Structure 1
């Protein structure tokens, strides 16, 4: 997906109106990136961060974000407020990929991630025609992300006990999926 991958207009949080778009995140977005990547509330469920300074943030963008096969900034009226990614599997598992996202805490509860995930689901199965399954692994304590998955139409498949180590603790994860046949393409 090059450039803008679509937009979604909406009214959320009272009379506030904004446009959501997805686009590549670059080094020039460092100041916006630092807003959410230094916030402990935001990075609680992430494998990274919080970052302590701009140099760490720039290194992460350069080493992890830029080479990622499919990662976009979630933008409100053109300004990045988070990211969303789809990470492909390989070999015999190439029929599936994992979706993940992060959003600045100031924007939680406004339907922004739900709309961004819908935008990705609406396009990723068209872009990656080999893809049959999109998965999400959600910390059992991350109730907000569980709600997002369910609103978008992902099916809760179960809890994977002691499935992943995040920042030194082993967590249980809820696995969600949506199939290409379940999407209106």
Structure 2
């Protein structure tokens, strides 16, 4: 199994010019199985999604290997009294699963948002109970498993249990990244 060095993995804005690359994950049913969106059946629909949702998002990046997008990661801030927390979500093309890419991207995103958003105290992730691979990504990235949220959300129209994970600004792992 090919592994990538930390320097091979970068984050950058995703752009419509990346359409051929992002279609690899947006059109893959294995990738979208645990995502809120359904697979895109046309490049035009995926481009429209990127234009309407990804580009205006406050923190959404392409996960790149040697500059080429293989997935994406976003951090969505909460507002009002909950502005001290945000939620991370990520997706990687299935050809790149099991290579440490998502774990490295989550670490990089956590480091960035804790530095960029001074009021951020908590970064959380909510993962379907059946998505054990994503749970491993979060654990390897230093997130703490907090518990099960029963029938937390609808996934493909069905109530789904989820696991909630968190990483706090005061966690040793975060301080390590901030010093690095």
TM-score by length of 2: 0.93
The residue correspondences of 1:82-161 to structure 2 (distance < 5 A) are 82-161=71-150
**Structure 2 runs not aligned, ≥5 long:** none
1:7 corresponds to: none
Distance 1:70 1:150, change over 3 A: same
Report the 3-state secondary structure (helix = DSSP H, G, I; strand = E; otherwise coil) of the residue aligned with 1:122: helix
What's the CA shift for 1:82?
Answer: 0.3
For normalisation by structure 1, the TM-score amounts to 0.91
1:23-64 Cα distance to aligned partner (Å, 9 max, x none): 000111111011111000000011112001011101100111
Q: Partner of 1:181: helix, strand, or coil?
A: coil
Q: Match for 2:65 among 71, 76, 93?
A: 76
Q: Deviations over 1:116-165 (max 9, x none)?
A: 11111222111000000000000000000100111111111100000001
| Compared CA separation, residues 16 and 177, structure 1 to 2 (3 A) | closer
- How far is the alpha carbon of 1:69 from its aligned partner? 0.4
Q: How far apart, in 2, do the equivalents of 1:178 and 1:125 lie? A: 10
On the 8 A contact 2:3/2:99 being kept in 1, the answer is no
Cα displacement string for residues 83-134 of structure 1 (whole angstroms, at most 9, x for unaligned residues): 0000000000100000000000000000000011111122211100000000
Unaligned runs of 5+ in 1: 1-12
Give the corresponding residue for 1:177.
166
Instruction: Report the RMSD for the aligned CA atoms in angstroms.
Output: 1.2
Alpha-carbon contact 2:4-2:100 (below 8 Å) kept: no
